[in-house]
């Protein structure tokens, strides 16, 4: 059995792992590379493996860096099934369609290449096969391979809606692909499931493997204080937000602070300026059985989790443009979360130079993105060819992260004294990978290897 990493090895984005058994080739995720121009150019590279030979694709969740190259995969000949939880399948379709719109816009404006077509996206959607958590399923196989079946099961990763870590059982071994492991006490989502016992190999993410989130700060209180501080400054509050999970968490929290608890001014004007986030929120509403107990109780009491006083939903470009002409203070929630595209750029162009304005960064920013440059202290940035001075106030908090920090990852891997026998670390920058590798090896006494994109590993 062989394991290869074709993305998210020594970096965070582009998740793509290939597991080869005696008769099958199974791809776990097929994500886009995100970051600066050089990084994203890699999305045009041909796949190193033969797409026609793949038996199946298994998706851990719907973020673009885990699903973004699926259209290229079917375009290059993949004809098998793509397995995912029901919410992941619905969200992946939305994310791929949104990515195609952005790619088309960049093609028209900057003559960047079109990597795939809408027809390729439709073919991806046609290959989806949905499976719920904890349901064993066997990958399709030739008739003569019934003696060595590959059995798969999804567990709740608690990262975003519908996210999963994946158990693969084959040739007497139990292999786990973590996907992305969720943070603690995230609104709406259930907690991350514990690892099964007797895991032979764990492929584990390491995004925050070198740092701890501020667990002393309550996330709802953190959001409230940032908003109140922005109100006192008198300018706009910009929140570049990931359209899946972070936006819904913000809406849920704002609902609580404005309508339930009355802890924020009732006259705040809040604009959700992201068609993708609006559509993704509708997916959440379709699958309320995936909510945690608190969210379910609110629904049972008749509460609409994602609607509240002062919220304006902006689907069209015309509605988005009208935000600029709205007098008074405003909160603008818009994608993309790393400020590497989307409507947030138009608002940033208008407000970053305003000393009264606030930019609230809510999650991981990949190297090369506008969000990363601002977070690292850039005083001047380029947006749509214009040089913009950054004079606004910058806020950042790790409590809103969708990723587990080092403490949560270590606790999850430890698994109440039943850690995996072998660990491979992916989905992290070099410092995070090294820090987590050292802790796992020294504290848990488990062999931990950093994923190498140049190496095929024998399991």
Has residue 299 got a pLDDT over 80?
A: no
Chain centre distance of CA 398: 15
Q: Tokens standing for 113?
A: 């290449």
Residue-wise pLDDT tens digits, 79-136: 999 999 999 999 999 999 999 998 998 899 889 999 999 999 999 999 999 999 999 9
The burial class, CB within 10 Å (0-12 / 13-18 / 19+), for 259 is middle
Cβ–Cβ under 8 Å, residues 353 and 390: yes
Quick one: pLDDT band at residue 146, thresholds 50, 70, 90? low
Q: Tokens standing for 393?
A: 């106030």
Q: Tokens standing for 375?
A: 């977070």
The answer for residues whose C-beta is within 8 angstroms of residue 252's C-beta and 6 or more apart is 187, 188, 295, 305, 306
Stretch 243-253: mean pLDDT: 91
Percent of the chain with pLDDT over 70: 97
Please report the pLDDT score of residue 216 as a whole number. 62
Quick one: pLDDT band at residue 261, thresholds 50, 70, 90? very high
Please report the pLDDT score of residue 305 as a whole number. 79
DSSP state of 361: E
Quick one: pLDDT band at residue 59, thresholds 50, 70, 90? very high
Reduced to 3 states (helix: H, G, I; strand: E, B; else coil), residue 214 is coil
Other Cβ atoms less than 10 A from the Cβ of 206: the count is 31
């Amino acid at each position: 059995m062989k394991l290869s990493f074709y993305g998210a090895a020594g970096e965070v984005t582009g998740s793509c792992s290939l597991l080869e058994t005696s008769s099958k080739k199974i791809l776990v995720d097929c994500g886009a590379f995100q970051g600066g121009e050089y990084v994203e150019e890699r999305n045009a590279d041909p796949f190193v493996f033969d797409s026609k030979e793949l038996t199946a694709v298994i998706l851990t969740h719907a973020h673009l860096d885990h699903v973004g190259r699926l259209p290229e995969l079917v375009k290059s000949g993949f004809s098998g099934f793509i397995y995912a939880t029901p919410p992941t399948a619905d969200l992946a379709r939305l994310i791929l369609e949104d990515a195609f719109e952005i790619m088309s816009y960049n093609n028209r404006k900057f003559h960047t290449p079109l990597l795939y077509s809408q027809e390729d996206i439709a073919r991806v959607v046609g290959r989806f096969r949905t499976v719920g958590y904890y349901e064993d399923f066997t990958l399709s196989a030739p008739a003569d391979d019934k003696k060595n079946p590959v059995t798969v099961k999804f567990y709740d990763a608690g990262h975003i809606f519908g996210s999963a870590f994946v158990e693969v059982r084959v040739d007497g071994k139990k292999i786990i692909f973590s996907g992305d492991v969720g943070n603690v006490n995230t609104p709406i989502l259930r907690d991350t499931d514990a690892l099964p016992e007797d895991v032979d190999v764990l492929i584990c993410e390491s995004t925050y493997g070198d740092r701890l989130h501020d667990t002393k700060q309550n996330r709802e209180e953190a959001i409230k204080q940032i908003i109140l501080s922005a109100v006192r400054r008198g300018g706009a509050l910009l929140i570049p937000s990931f359209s899946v999970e972070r936006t819904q968490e913000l809406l849920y929290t704002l609902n609580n602070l404005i309508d339930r608890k009355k802890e924020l001014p009732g006259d705040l004007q809040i604009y959700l300026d992201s068609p993708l986030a609006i559509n993704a929120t509708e997916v959440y509403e379709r699958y309320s059985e995936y909510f945690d107990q608190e969210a379910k109780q609110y629904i049972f009491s008749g509460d609409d989790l994602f609607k509240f006083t002062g919220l304006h939903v902006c689907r069209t470009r015309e509605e988005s443009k009208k935000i600029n002409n709205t007098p008074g203070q405003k909160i603008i929630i818009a994608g993309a979360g790393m400020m590497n595209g989307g409507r947030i750029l138009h608002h940033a162009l208008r407000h970053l130079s305003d000393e009264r304005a606030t930019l609230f960064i809510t999650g991981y920013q990949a190297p090369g993105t506008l969000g990363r440059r601002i977070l690292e202290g850039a005083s001047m940035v380029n947006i749509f060819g214009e040089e913009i001075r950054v004079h606004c106030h910058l806020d950042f908090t790790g409590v809103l992260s969708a990723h587990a920090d080092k403490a949560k990852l270590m606790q999850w891997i430890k698994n109440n004294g039943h850690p995996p026998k072998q660990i491979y670390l992916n989905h992290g920058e070099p410092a995070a990978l090294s820090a987590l590798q050292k802790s796992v090896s020294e504290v848990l006494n488990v062999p931990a290897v950093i994923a190498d994109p140049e190496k095929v590993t024998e399991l």
